[in-house]
Amino acid sequence: MSLDNILNHWSDYRKGAEEGGHHDYEHRWAMAINLDLCIGCNACSTACYAENNLAVVGKEKFERGQAMHWMRIERYWDQQELEHPEQGASFLPMMCQQCGAATCEPVCPVAATYHTPDGLNAQVYNRCIGSRYCSNNCPFRVRYFNFYSYYESSWPEPMEQQLNPDISVRDKGVMEKCTFCVQRIRTVKDKAFMEDRSVQDGEVVPACAQACPTSAIVFGDTMDEGSVVSKLWKKHQVERGVYQKTKLAKKDADLRGYRIFEELNVDPSVMYLERVREDI
């Protein structure tokens, strides 16, 4: 299905986001992150480490930029002219945006990263040869490369007991990134299949959304009209395929939704809701 798509329908596959992407989707998983609620506590990042068997690389490698945090909190100062506590810190959780027209996909020489019928950017670890083209082509810098084999150093005994069996432990030379907790999606879909029903809204909760103390992260299927996430997208007038959104209505405090690098036509699946400041 997917590999067929890549090999036989390359032009379809690269169809622009404005034409609705490259194939019929079963689901289109998406997120809405309310930055007004984000307190920058890093709980999401921690949950991600636990859920997805991420290696803890240590200070030295972190400084070299070899950290493996699929989800990171970016910190910005909104009012730099003020003194430190008043500088207006704002946080932005950054993870793979699961772009509809992802720039990482066409550059992979072995099709290890491809688009699934769920609208996700898949990364097949067994197929990856570690060329790192995808990472260099990603405008969000959210792909992480295993420069080392972390198995023994990162999970000393008995820590390896907490590894999640639903996702593989990646080895040296493999690219990895946020999967929207595909193992949870898979479990829920399997369960729905066994019960002869469709996946309900709110059933799939990624680790980051589950751990968020302020419920800033909402996850769901934008193909499902009734889901919380598609209602939020609609409410803030963020649409897939629309990449040069007129920001005229931006003054309206109710329209806070935006997607990062929307103008690059990568069609990200994560919508952020701008932070509200008193003086803006």
Partner 1 sequence: MVVKNRLINPGAGFVRTGLAGMVFLVMLLMSSMAMAVKYDVVPPSGTHTGEDVPQPIEFPHDIHVKDNDINCMYCHTYARRSKVAGIPPTSKCMGCHKVIATDKPRIKELTKYWEDKESPLWKKVHDVPDFVHFTHEKHLKTLAFDREFPVEDIKEICAFCHGDVENMTVANKVKPLNMGFCINCHIANKDLGAPGDCWKCHK
Question: Which residues would be at the binding site for partner 1 (CB under 8 A)?
Answer: 1-4, 114, 116-118, 120, 122, 124-127, 165-169, 182-183, 186, 190, 193-194
Q: Nearest distance from residue 116's CB to partner 1, in Å?
A: 5
- Kindly give the residue spans of alpha helices, DSSP state H, lying in 31-143: 43-51, 59-63, 104-107, 133-137
Using the 8-state DSSP alphabet, how is residue 266 labeled?
-
Do 38 and 272 form a contact (C-beta atoms < 8 A)? no
Signed CA dihedral, 218, 223, 225, 231: sign only: positive
- Return the SS3 of 204: coil
Give the closest residue to 179 by CA, choosing from 114, 103, 228. 114
Q: Which is nearer to partner 1, 116 or 135 (CB)?
A: 116
Do 30 and 232 form a contact (C-beta atoms < 8 A)? no
Q: Nearest distance from residue 57's CB to partner 1, in Å?
A: 22
Q: Which is nearer to partner 1, 7 or 39 (CB)?
A: 7
Q: Nearest distance from residue 15's CB to partner 1, in Å?
A: 19
Q: Which is nearer to partner 1, 44 or 185 (CB)?
A: 185
- Kindly give the residue spans of alpha helices, DSSP state H, lying in 108-237: 133-137, 151-154, 182-194, 207-211, 228-235
Q: Which is nearer to partner 1, 115 or 240 (CB)?
A: 115
Q: Nearest distance from residue 195's CB to partner 1, in Å?
A: 10
Q: Which is nearer to partner 1, 127 or 245 (CB)?
A: 127
Q: Nearest distance from residue 190's CB to partner 1, in Å?
A: 6
